[in-house]
Amino acid sequence: FTIPILQQIYDKVGSGKGRRKLKALIVTPTRELAIQIEDNVKEYSKYTGIQSTVIFGGVSQGPQTNTLKRGIDILVATPGRLLDLIGQGYISLKNVQYFVLDEADHMLDMGFIHGNRKVVAQLPPQAQRQSLFFSATMPPAIQGFASFCLDNPVKIEIARAKVSSTIKHA
C-alpha cells in the first residue's frame, strides 16, 4: 500500500519545499511491524524528497518529537504513542489525506480499537481522505469499526488457494 501513497504524495507536492504537513498516517499494532513498514517507506521514497518517520512506545520520545517538529509527509505509528503525542500537541491529523490501518484484526485482539476510534475522530472527513484497512480476518467488531470510519467502503477479499499435495511412498 505504500507505493501508491508515495506516488500520490509526490504527484501533488513533488520533492516538497517548505514546511511539511502530515499527509499520510499508517497505524499498525506492533513496533516491529511499524519499523518494517517505515523501512519500506524510506526505501521506496529514497529519491523523492518525501520525509517519513516511525513512532512507537517503549523508547524515549525525544528523537521522535524532534523529527515531528521538523515536519514529515508520512507517519507510521503504533496507537498508544500516536495518541500520546497527539495529546501532547506534537501531531495534528487535520491534513491527513491517506489513512491506513494495517492488521486491523490484531488491533482488536490487542485492545486498540477504542484508541483508533479516537484517532479517526481527529482525521479530516472521509470525503477529504482515503482510508485503507487491511485485515486477515473480518470479525464483527472490525466490520463495525469499518462502518464507523468509512463511507461506501469497497471490500476486497482474497481467498487462500487450495493446496493439495501428493505424497508418494517408496
pLDDT, tens digit, 9 for 90 and up, residues 43-92:
999 988 899 999 999 998 999 999 999 899 999 999 889 999 999 999 99
Looking at residue 165, its amino acid is S
Give 146's pLDDT tier (boundaries 50, 70, 90). Answer: low
Tell me the HSE value of 134 on the side-chain side, using a 13 A CA sphere: 11
Q: DSSP assignment of 41-90, as one string?
A: HHHHTTTT---EEEE-SSS-SHHHHHHHHH--SEEEE-HHHHHHHHHTTS
Q: How far is it, in rounded angstroms, from Cα 138 to Cα 154?
A: 14
Measured in Å, how far apart are the chain's first and last C-alpha atoms? 46
Q: Report the pLDDT value the prediction gives residue 165, as an integer from 0 to 100.
A: 58
